[in-house]
């Protein structure tokens, strides 16, 4: 059986979108005959408590790479690194891992999934900016390193990206790596749990103590300052003027990789204080963390979805895809540049625009035909994105990369 070793900056699927993606990928890969092992931090492995999730490092600083390299002296067919800056504590040492592996005799293909790219370049104050720019371009033009991720991409045998912006940047910066770059869309971050719509509708309103004729607007995902929740609450206050029976449901916990401990508690309290200040106590409900099935039942009982992210919504949002998969018409903020595939699927507004968001939500509540149109467009889009296809394509990439690697070797 084919075996892949995955490196994950953290492996806490309930608190990190990338970890959740990796966890789902492993489950689907197993169905197509690919066994996997995860190497991550000792704390994450201890929390997971599974024999195939191994703690290899305490953190992702430079000194940790040596024990990690030693840990990789195992039987595997492919090494697959899942990279997003935040999952590695914003440590850049991971950029040197492929170089260290090659220097110490690693003779297996390396695959990298770039979940984020194009925004986090190294800019140390102690190095003259002009010299640093020359150095970045000099190495990148020769395919030795790239200006953002060091050796992580250039010494990998296949590069997977999950969004169009990253794909475009990769092709522009590394034109000679065209054949190594693959774009794979992500899938909804939860499945649609089987439940009758009427049952979901009634159950949700009973849970929240709302009337049966309530129109429920649902936000889904981690509650975080970049998600535009302050904008949403202020906009919802305006929506109630024309639709006093509307209600806002915030589905998701606040504790995440990006917001932990006292920070998470403080933000949770901040949101509740804002709800009180706006006198929305009776019209806004916080669910806290909900497991996948429960969250799916909530979404099946809602009428509209809303994602007011401060930086706009893109196809790399598993929460967006989950809303669409649950046949919800969605109001969302527009990213720049935007994913054109979303133009016909969403009611788009500018980020941080309270009035614009309120108007969009009100119009959609008033327009049943528009809601149906968005539902159908969203379902058509999300039906092309599924974990079965993602796993199958991963296996194809693994096999072709291994074939090419062995032929060259």
User: pTM for this one?
Assistant: 0.82
Angle between helix 17-31 and helix 387-408 axes, rounded to 10 deg: 80
- The 3 state secondary structure assigned to the chain is CEEEEEEECCCCCCCCHHHHHHHHHHHHHHHCCEEEEEEEEHHHHHHHCCCCEEEEECCCCHHHHHHHHHHCCCCCCEEEEEECHHHHCCCCHHHHHHHHHHHCCCCCCEEEEECCCCCCCCCCCCCCHHHHHHHHHHHHHCCCCECCCEHHHHCCCEEEECCHHHHHHHHHHCHHHHHHEEECCCCCCCCCCCCCHHHHHHHHHHHHCCCCCCEEEEEECCCCHHHCHHHHHHHHHHHHHHCCCEEEEEEECCCCCCCCHHHHHHHHHHHHHHHHHCCCCCCEEEEECCCHHHHHHHHHHCCEEEECCCCCECCCCHHHHHHHHCCCCEEEEECCCCCHHHCCCEEEECCCCHHHHHHHHHHHHHCHHHHHHHHHHHHHHHCCCCHHHHHHHHHHHHHHHHHHHHHHC
Neighbouring-strand partners of residue 266: none
Separation in Å, CA 264 to CA 2, 218, 234, 319, 400: 40, 21, 21, 20, 44
Question: Measured over all CA atoms, what is the biggest interatomic distance in the chain, rounded to whole angstroms?
Answer: 69
Which of 209, 6, 195, 187 has its CA nearest to residue 110?
6
For the domain covering 2-187+386-408, report its CATH number: 3.40.50.2000
Are the CB atoms for 198 and 204 separated by under 8 Å? no
The answer to whether 315 and 339 have CB atoms below 8 angstroms apart is: yes
Q: Cα Rg for the chain, rounded, in angstroms? A: 23
Q: Do domains 2-187+386-408 and 197-382 have the same CATH topology?
A: yes
pLDDT tens for each residue of 367-403: 999 999 999 999 988 888 888 889 999 999 999 999 8
Q: Say which CATH superfamily domain 197-382 falls into.
A: Glycogen Phosphorylase B; (3.40.50.2000)
pLDDT in tens, the chain (409 residues): 789 999 999 888 877 888 889 999 999 999 999 999 999 999 999 988 898 999 999 999 998 888 888 878 667 899 999 999 889 988 999 999 999 999 988 889 999 999 988 888 888 888 888 998 999 999 889 999 999 999 999 999 999 998 878 888 899 999 999 999 999 888 888 889 999 999 999 999 999 999 999 999 999 999 999 999 999 999 999 999 999 999 999 999 988 777 778 888 999 999 999 999 999 999 999 999 999 999 999 999 999 999 999 999 988 888 999 999 999 999 999 988 777 888 889 999 999 999 999 999 999 999 999 999 999 999 988 888 888 889 999 999 999 999 888 876 6
Q: Which two tokens stand for residue 316?
A: 């790399």
pLDDT in tens, 164-218: 788 888 999 999 999 999 998 888 888 899 999 999 999 999 999 999 999 999 9
Contact 374, 324 (CB under 8 A): no
Question: How many angstroms separate the CA atoms of 112 and 149, rounded?
Answer: 11
189: number of CA atoms within 13 Å, CB side? 25
Domain regions of the chain by residue span: 2-187+386-408, 197-382
């Amino acid at each position: 059986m084919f075996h892949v070793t995955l490196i994950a900056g953290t492996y806490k699927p309930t608190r990190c979108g990338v970890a959740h993606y990796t966890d789902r990928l492993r489950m689907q890969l197993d169905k197509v005959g690919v066994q996997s092992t995860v190497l991550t931090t000792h704390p994450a492995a201890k929390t997971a408590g599974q024999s195939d999730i191994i703690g290899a490092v305490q953190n992702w600083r430079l000194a940790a790479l040596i024990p990690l390299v030693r840990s990789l002296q195992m039987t595997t067919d492919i090494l697959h690194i899942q990279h997003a800056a935040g999952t590695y504590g914003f440590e850049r040492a991971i950029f040197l891992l492929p170089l260290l592996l090659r220097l110490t005799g690693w003779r297996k293909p390396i695959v990298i999934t770039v979940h984020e790219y194009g925004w986090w370049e190294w800019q140390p104050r102690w190095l003259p900016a002009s010299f640093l720019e020359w150095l970045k371009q000099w190495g990148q033009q020769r395919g030795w390193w790239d200006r953002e991720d060091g050796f992580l991409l250039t010494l990998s045998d296949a590069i997977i990206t999950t969004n169009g912006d990253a794909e475009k940047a990769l092709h522009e910066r590394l034109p000679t790596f065209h054949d190594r770059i693959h774009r794979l869309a992500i899938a909804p971050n939860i499945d649609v749990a089987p439940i009758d719509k009427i049952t979901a509708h009634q159950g949700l309103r009973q849970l929240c103590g709302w009337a049966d004729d309530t129109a429920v607007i649902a936000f889904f995902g981690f509650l975080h300052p970049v998600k535009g929740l302050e904008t949403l609450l202020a906009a919802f206050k305006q929506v109630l003027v024309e639709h006093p029976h509307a209600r806002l449901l915030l589905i998701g916990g606040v504790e995440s990789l990006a917001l932990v401990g006292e920070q998470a508690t403080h933000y949770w309290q901040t949101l509740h204080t804002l709800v009180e200040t706006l006198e929305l106590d009776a019209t806004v409900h916080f669910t806290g963390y909900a497991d996948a099935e429960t969250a799916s039942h909530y979404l099946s009982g809602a009428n509209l979805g809303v994602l007011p992210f401060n930086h706009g919504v893109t196809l790399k949002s598993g929460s967006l895809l989950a809303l669409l998969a649950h046949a919800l018409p969605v109001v969302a903020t527009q990213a720049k540049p935007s994913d054109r595939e979303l133009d016909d699927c969403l009611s788009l507004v500018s980020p941080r625009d309270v009035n614009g968001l309120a108007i969009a939500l009100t119009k959609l509540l008033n327009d049943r035909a528009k809601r149906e149109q968005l539902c159908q467009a969203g379902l058509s889009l999300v039906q092309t994105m599924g974990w079965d296809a993602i796993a199958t394509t991963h296996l194809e990439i693994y096999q072709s990369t291994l074939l090419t690697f062995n032929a060259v070797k």
